[in-house]
Structure 1
Amino acid sequence: MAIIRATGPTLPLTQSTRPDTFTPSQEPKFDLEDRLELTANRAKEIEAGMGEHVPNQVLVKLPAGTDQAAMKALAADYGANLAKVFTIPDQMKAAFDGELALLELPAGLAESRALAALEVDDRVKTAASNDLMHLQNLPNDLHEDQWNLKNNGQFGKVGADIHAEQAWDITTGDRVNGPIVAVIDSGIDIAHPDLRPNLWRNPNEKYDGQDTDRNGLIDDVFGVDTQNGNGNIVDWIGHGTHVSGIIGAVGDNGKGVAGVNWQTRLMGLKVADGQGRISMVGAIFSVLYATQMGAKIANNSWGGLVDNPILKDVMGASPMLHVCAAGNYQNDNDVRPFYPASYDLPNVISVGASTRRDEPLYISNWGANSVDVHAPGARVYSTLPRESYDEESGTSMAAPHVSGVAALIATVYPDLTAEQLKDRLIYSADPIDDLHGKSVSGGRLNAYRALADDKIAPGNLGNPEMKSLDADGFEVSWVNPGDDGDQGQLNHIEM
């Protein structure tokens, strides 16, 4: 897959003359064969860079205001069908600045050839293949195995946990008015007794085989199966159920396990197939649906090595905080990015996995500039379908710890933006020697510090010195003070 941004076959039209929408009378007669011949070399370049993807499909971002008639005309020029038109939520329209559609290509037209031709089509802002990404796990009341929430040294290091017990003294969540957490994954076992009370419920839909709320989806009571366009979010492989339990298994009910957030609202977005593969169409639809329905946080325990520009545009335009697994490739994401975790967006937080000894999990990706924080991801005990429980490992398990804590923070501080939530999660992390240089924070998630109202100001900067000053700016050095007076470690200074 390659990043495709349309530039036009000739010099670009000026802003004053380029049409916002397309009608057939505004363009010369389109000749597909000529266009394919002119872009043949570019098609070879695109083909070489493509990853795993859904065959015979391409996504196109069009200028804002392009209507379906123009979309169908575009599709017809390529011998394609207009397979899907995405609805952009009102709260995303200004930031997204466009329309989005899926084209099904005719037999014999390779995706790379279509993308090369679309790249120089003035009617298209961006085009991309329908890439496939993968869940990021390794198969494998406060339960004694839940070291991630309270570590007394069981098979590890005392205190190598997220300090959940202290956080719960501040809040255990709010399933009535608290934030909605969208779990973009393989579904959720809605019958699991440790999850069902914490499932989000669509207030305008009911199980009656009808599209009660008239949003085009039948019975989307607890969420959506994006592949089949209905509300059947049954989880056949267990990944999404395990992730959901980490975020929000019911606490203090005498059953199974406790989630990071005892009382929350989990929205199920079933995007993965039986092999754990996730298409861009499913991921994009999930972000649009969750945003439309009011979710504040999205957990993304999946990803891949392909940079899909349309997914980035959609995530960036959504006001949600997107919590993303950093990946299980034993890879430096600064050098070899892993998406969507590596999208440089203010509302994306990338999460690496740590062990019960506060060490980086051996499979976890890292990145001094591209991974934000680590969280427990080794042998994490959580819910599985059919009222069962077990351990799983990976950055898939680390990300939901951050999502759960983000939901606790948003319960206490509901007006925080996604960027403010992200900063609070990063700069409240416990500095850990073994994680230094592996992430922006160099630390492991601390739920209590993320929630606590810090009333003690940092100490004064020590020995400030102007190192340089010129027309481009200045450089100042100082000795860092403590976070609380002379105590602790200051992680972040805004100037």
Structure 2
Amino acid sequence: MSDHSRRTFLKAAGSAVGSAALVSGPVSADGSGARKTRFLVDLQEVSRSDVPDDVEIIHDISEIDLLAARGDPDAVPGGSSTTPDVTVYRDDQTYDGGPAKEHDAKGEGSKGPAWDSGEPTNTELQWDKRKQRVGDLTENPGNGRTVQDTTKGEGSRVAVVDTGVYDGHPDLADVVNTELSANYTTDDYDFRPNGAGDHGTHVAGIVAGTNANGEGVLGTAPATEIVAHRVFSGVPGEGASTGDTIAALTDAATKGCDAANFSVGYPPANPNEDWVSGVKEAYSRLAEYARSQDMIIVNSAGNASVDMTPDDVISLPTEVEGIFGVSATGPIGYLWDDKKPSREDKGLKKLEKPTTQPAKYTNYGEGVDVSAEGGNYDLDAYRKGIEGWYYDLVYSSVVEYDADGEPVPDYGWKAGTSMAAPQVTGAVALARSLRPDITAEELESLIKETATDAPGGELYHGAGHLDLRRLVKRLR
């Protein structure tokens, strides 16, 4: 791994859409019949010494005056000292029954209607990276200068706080820091997915895929260093909790990460719901701490197709000040609805479908700082099973399992604001590679200043659509 040029590592690793669960996991009882559930303890409301010994401390997040605990919350003194440790969700699920997770057709050279003459390479399926002119992709339009001719993210470090990252994937083997990566759940596994799903592996490929041997997928910043913090459990039936994610994000800042990709969130809620104020306060403290360490928390805006502007709707943590929110865009009909008869006639040297239109599932309004490529889909084509509809999704690294349960690297499509956020995380890595000392506030402002206008305007794109070439040009 490359040395991190901006900060020294200070501390080793410690220790969709649906209704928000009030607790992460079932409420149970010990032998005495006492309640045992997950909750957060606010150390600004109660002294650490007043927390009873029979309350188990799962994470000590003293940097922001919080504990993640398990036991009886009523045993902790002070009516406002505890808040439920609610469940968090991955943002790769869509509100209308559209695609969730990756499409079944995956792997190099998946044939579709646009490929009557030969099969596409993986990088030809990466419409997002081709549009961004990231690197030396097959049939790169114009053969001009690419973003990675200036930097590939050398010297930067980013955290992927997610389902874990499979570092055995050839496109990720050289970028994951296995010493700093960690598991923040209560299961006994390591930072790898271990049954928690390949969401984090897909996200990591968008950020830092190395296109191994020219046959893989190319990420925005293939020379960055990834720290994988797993917050989704590999144990069936156990999800991810607020306490685990807050601890993982706090440690990412302490470890000197330039950005933490958090393609995770909560369904839109009424601000008056019991759990909201406590969870919002926890993320507010986290954001303040991250800023003090010059780390940017990049968060997916959510996939409920909800306007987050009205006062009676809140989407966390996107709307928390200091969290960088990203909405999603994508094409409709990339390759699959083109009637031209052959690959040669397709004209891959120029993307013919606009990629900046808002994705049909994306949240919008309050909390969106910029938009980025997260994938789109034609719902009618998806439901009818029209071949090739999945080309509009984002193509990246995934992991499958063989008959013996052993992980097997692969490639596949996903759509969601989950896929848009890592486009921005990769941009942070590129920027910090060029300007190691730029502050988080300065860099956020620059990403917004260099973003370009897109259909739907500020409501859907915030300051605009991510423009890597303009960003890198300003930083050179």
TM-score, scaled relative to structure 1 = 0.64
Matches within 5 A, 1:11-26: none
Matches within 5 A, 1:19-168: 51-54=21-24, 55=27, 56-63=37-44, 66-67=47-48, 70-71=49-50, 74-75=51-52, 81-88=55-62, 93=63, 96=64, 98=65, 100-105=67-72, 118-119=78-79, 124=81, 127-137=82-92, 138-139=100-101, 140=103, 143-151=123-131, 166-168=146-148
Contact kept in structure 1, 2:398 and 2:410, CA below 8 Å:
yes
Superposed CA deviations along residues 432-491 of structure 1, whole A, max 9, x for unmatched, are: 1334432321x2111111111279xxxxxxxxxxxxxxxxxxxxxxxxxxxxxxxxxxxx
Matches within 5 A, 1:203-222: 222=181
* Distance (whole Å) between structure 1 residues aligned to residue 144 and residue 361 of structure 2: 25
Q: Unaligned 5+ residue runs, structure 1? A: 1-48, 106-110, 153-160, 203-220, 456-495
Cα 1:165/1:198, change in 2 over 3 Å: farther
Matches within 5 A, 1:85-484: 85-88=59-62, 93=63, 96=64, 98=65, 100-105=67-72, 118-119=78-79, 124=81, 127-137=82-92, 138-139=100-101, 140=103, 143-151=123-131, 166-174=146-154, 178-202=155-179, 222-228=181-187, 231-236=190-195, 237-251=197-211, 253-273=213-233, 277-304=239-266, 305=268, 307=276, 308=279, 309-318=281-290, 319=293, 320-335=295-310, 336-345=313-322, 348-356=323-331, 357=354, 358-367=356-365, 369-378=366-375, 379-385=393-399, 386-441=408-463, 443-453=464-474
* Distance (whole Å) between structure 2 residues aligned to residue 276 and residue 395 of structure 1: 23
Question: Corresponding residue for 2:342?
Answer: none
SS of 1:263's partner is coil
Cα 1:376/1:444, change in 2 over 3 Å: same
Q: Unaligned 5+ residue runs, structure 2? A: 1-18, 28-36, 93-99, 104-120, 133-140, 270-275, 332-353, 376-392, 400-407
* Distance (whole Å) between structure 1 residues aligned to residue 183 and residue 162 of structure 2: 11
TM-fit CA distance, 1:290? 1.5
One-letter code aligned to 2:227: M
How many residue pairs end up in the alignment? 348
Contact kept in structure 1, 2:185 and 2:231, CA below 8 Å:
yes
Superposed CA deviations along residues 125-146 of structure 1, whole A, max 9, x for unmatched, are: xx21101010011223861111
* Distance (whole Å) between structure 2 residues aligned to residue 436 and residue 171 of structure 1: 30
Which deviates more, 348-357 or 308-317? 308-317
TM-fit CA distance, 1:234? 2.9
TM-fit CA distance, 1:316? 2.5
**For the pair shown, which has the larger CA radius of gyration, 1 or 2?**
1
* Distance (whole Å) between structure 2 residues aligned to residue 291 and residue 164 of structure 1: 37
Contact kept in structure 2, 1:297 and 1:403, CA below 8 Å:
yes
One-letter code aligned to 2:284: K
Highest relative contact order (Cα 8 Å, sep 6+), 1 or 2? 2
Superposed CA deviations along residues 383-408 of structure 1, whole A, max 9, x for unmatched, are: 00122001110000000000011110
SS of 1:118's partner is coil
SS of 1:353's partner is strand
Superposed CA deviations along residues 287-332 of structure 1, whole A, max 9, x for unmatched, are: 1322232212100101004631223322321232000000000101
Cα 1:62/1:296, change in 2 over 3 Å: same
Cα 1:164/1:86, change in 2 over 3 Å: farther
TM-score, scaled relative to structure 2 = 0.67
TM-fit CA distance, 1:53? 2.0
One-letter code aligned to 2:226: L
TM-fit CA distance, 1:413? 0.7
Cα 1:62/1:260, change in 2 over 3 Å: same
Cα 1:315/1:278, change in 2 over 3 Å: farther
TM-fit CA distance, 1:365? 0.3
Contact kept in structure 1, 2:206 and 2:396, CA below 8 Å:
yes
Cα 1:327/1:187, change in 2 over 3 Å: same
